[in-house]
């Protein structure tokens, strides 16, 4: 039934997406907001200016080239993957991987649609894959990102986000595009160690109150869960509460203050972590093309975990036990930093970012200090070519376990070349290497695919 439902929804959405919107499509963000004055402060115009990292969203200099009207797509391609692996080791204790050629079909619905006071951003992506000689790894992955933004009044804007994923191979999921930006979601899905069926659900609500043309207040709440089929991997249920304020220093600069509370509860009675954090935000737009944003602060992290403990020999002799369990509490302080530099072009954008924060880990690593550095370049031609390339580095260092650091290096890119009105040639390559210090876990993965894609519209989509 689900296999019939997805194509039907795509067919209906394709017709709706081609209808003219009831209001004008979203326009590119202005170079900068108008200079505040006493009169404008009384009118309290809609918030504008450089993006504030604590409130999510892409840089305003990149948004104009990234936004597309709601469009469906279907892709059929040949594929190769040499990093297929499960939670097992060989006789030497090394993680095992296998390689295989195969076929994959991708389908989805992505883009934006707007009304007078409401805008939606949708990015649904499905991938069905079949490997010629490794049928065990056959399967279907799904990923949904839905954002609904509504202007309640001239002073209040609310936003709902829903993120849902079901996958066995997170590394092969298409690279998300559009104006979506959420480091926490990437922290839940971006560093999986094994090809194990995993389900992720995250719901977020945000609200912004524009007190004056200079001053605004924001707040939000989110909840998420991660469940992994393998009993050797730990799942997590979490919640986050945030509050922030922002003040426009000038036409192109904004400063802000943020408070956040987070809690992670791990499955199988492993334990939990909770932490409070404060941070200062600063964002600036330089001219028409450059934008920089940063957030700097720290967390106080308290973790409670069930651990094994040695038993006194005399007690062990009486009760016949060699070990037991106890509750271990640990309090640490961790930095919270994020920086992002973006250069917008007429037909593309480039960005470089670094994030240092606390994440719930990847099923082996629990609450961890997480580092991520990434640079991305995207290009959208007049009507024929769309391409994107990226390089990334990730590191996890557990705050509650005595375990080596996890590191991951990745890079790749893809291109779409239009052949006919709605038919395009697509290609993609990705490379990833990761390891854990002090263990035999070292794995490299290379993936490539080449095929044809169908999607109506004025320009080819970046379907990676």
In a domain, 463, yes or no: no
pLDDT band per the 50, 70, 90 thresholds, residue 171? low
Vertex 286, ends 297 and 414: CA angle to 5°? Answer: 80
In a domain, 411, yes or no: yes
Rounded Cα distance between 379 and 349, Å, is 7
Rounded Cα distance between 152 and 159, Å, is 10
- Whether 92 has a pLDDT exceeding 90, the answer reads no
202 close to 224: Cβ distance less than 8 angstroms: yes
In a domain, 373, yes or no: yes
Rounded Cα distance between 448 and 82, Å, is 10
Nearest Cα neighbor of 174 from 1, 362, 430 is: 430
In a domain, 144, yes or no: yes
- Whether 117 has a pLDDT exceeding 90, the answer reads yes
Residue with token string 């790749």: 412
Rounded Cα distance between 290 and 351, Å, is 10
- Whether 397 has a pLDDT exceeding 60, the answer reads yes
Nearest Cα neighbor of 207 from 156, 256, 241 is: 156
pLDDT, position 167: 87
In a domain, 464, yes or no: no
- Collapsing DSSP to helix, strand or coil, 275 comes out as strand
| 3-state SS, one letter per residue, for 1-15 | CHHHHHHHHHHHHHH
Q: Which residues of 250-263 are buried (b: 16+ CB within 10 A; e: fewer)?
A: eebbbebebbbebb
Radius of gyration of the chain (CA): 24
Domain span at 70: 2-454
- Whether 194 has a pLDDT exceeding 90, the answer reads no
Rounded Cα distance between 70 and 121, Å, is 8
Q: How many residues does the chain have?
A: 464
pLDDT band per the 50, 70, 90 thresholds, residue 379? confident
How many domains does the chain divide into? 1
Rounded Cα distance between 59 and 57, Å, is 7
In a domain, 460, yes or no: no
Residue with token string 């992290």: 301
Mean pLDDT, the chain, rounded, equals: 81
Give percent of the chain above pLDDT 70.
77
In CATH, what number is assigned to the domain containing residue 371? Answer: 2.40.160
pLDDT, position 365: 87
- Collapsing DSSP to helix, strand or coil, 33 comes out as coil
Write the pLDDT tens digit of every residue in 277-327. 999 999 999 988 899 999 999 999 998 876 665 666 665 666 666 666 666
Query: Which strand (E) or helix (H) includes residue 34?
Result: none
Query: Which strand (E) or helix (H) includes residue 313?
Result: helix 313-319
Nearest Cα neighbor of 107 from 132, 74, 141 is: 74
pLDDT band per the 50, 70, 90 thresholds, residue 161? very high
In a domain, 111, yes or no: yes
Beta strands 348-359 and 71-84 are unpaired
- Collapsing DSSP to helix, strand or coil, 259 comes out as strand
In a domain, 176, yes or no: yes
pLDDT, position 32: 38
CA 222 to chain centre: 14
- Whether 43 has a pLDDT exceeding 60, the answer reads no
pLDDT, position 464: 64
């Amino acid at each position: 039934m689900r296999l019939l439902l997805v194509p039907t929804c795509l067919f209906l959405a394709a017709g709706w997406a081609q209808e003219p919107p009831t209001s004008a499509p979203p326009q590119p963000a202005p170079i900068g907001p108008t200079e505040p004055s006493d009169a404008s402060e009384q009118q309290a115009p809609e918030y504008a200016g450089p993006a504030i990292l604590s409130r999510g969203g892409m840089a305003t200099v990149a948004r104009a080239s990234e936004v597309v009207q709601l469009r469906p797509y279907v892709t059929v391609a040949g594929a190769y993957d040499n990093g297929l692996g499960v939670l097992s080791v060989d006789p030497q204790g090394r993680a095992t991987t296998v390689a295989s050629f195969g076929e994959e079909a991708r389908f989805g619905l992505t883009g934006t649609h707007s009304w007078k006071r409401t805008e939606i951003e949708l990015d649904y992506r499905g991938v069905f894959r079949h490997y010629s000689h490794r049928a065990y790894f056959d399967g279907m992955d799904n990923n949904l990102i839905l954002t609904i933004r509504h202007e309640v009044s001239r002073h209040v804007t609310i936003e709902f986000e829903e993120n849902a994923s079901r996958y066995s191979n997170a590394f092969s999921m298409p690279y998300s595009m559009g104006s979506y930006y959420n480091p926490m979601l990437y922290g839940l899905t971006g560093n999986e160690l094994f090809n194990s069926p995993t389900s992720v659900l995250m719901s977020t609500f945000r609200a912004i109150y524009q007190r004056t043309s200079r001053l605004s207040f924001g707040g939000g709440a989110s909840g998420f869960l991660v469940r992994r089929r393998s009993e050797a991997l730990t799942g997590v249920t979490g919640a986050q509460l945030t509050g922030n304020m922002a003040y426009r220093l000038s036409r192109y600069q904004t400063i802000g203050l943020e408070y956040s509370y987070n809690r992670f509860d791990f499955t199988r009675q492993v334990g939990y972590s909770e932490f409070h954090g404060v941070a200062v935000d600063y964002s600036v737009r330089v001219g028409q093309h450059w934008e920089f944003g940063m957030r700097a602060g720290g967390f106080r992290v308290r973790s409670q975990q069930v651990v094994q403990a040695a038993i006194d020999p005399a007690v062990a002799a009486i009760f016949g036990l060699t070990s037991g369990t106890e509750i271990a509490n640990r309090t640490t302080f961790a930095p919270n930093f994020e920086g992002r530099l973006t250069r917008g072009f007429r037909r593309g954008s480039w960005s470089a970012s670094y994030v240092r924060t606390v994440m719930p880990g990847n099923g082996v690593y629990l609450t961890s200090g997480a580092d991520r550095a990434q640079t991305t370049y995207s290009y959208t031609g007049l009507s024929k070519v769309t391409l994107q390339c990226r390089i990334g580095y990730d590191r996890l260092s557990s705050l509650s376990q005595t375990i080596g650091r996890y590191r991951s290096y990745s890079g790749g890119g893809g291109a779409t070349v239009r052949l006919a009105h709605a038919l395009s040639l697509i290609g993609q390559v990705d490379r990833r290497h990761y390891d854990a210090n002090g263990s035999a876990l070292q794995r490299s993965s290379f993936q490539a695919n080449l095929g044809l894609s169908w999607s109506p519209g004025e320009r080819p989509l970046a379907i990676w």
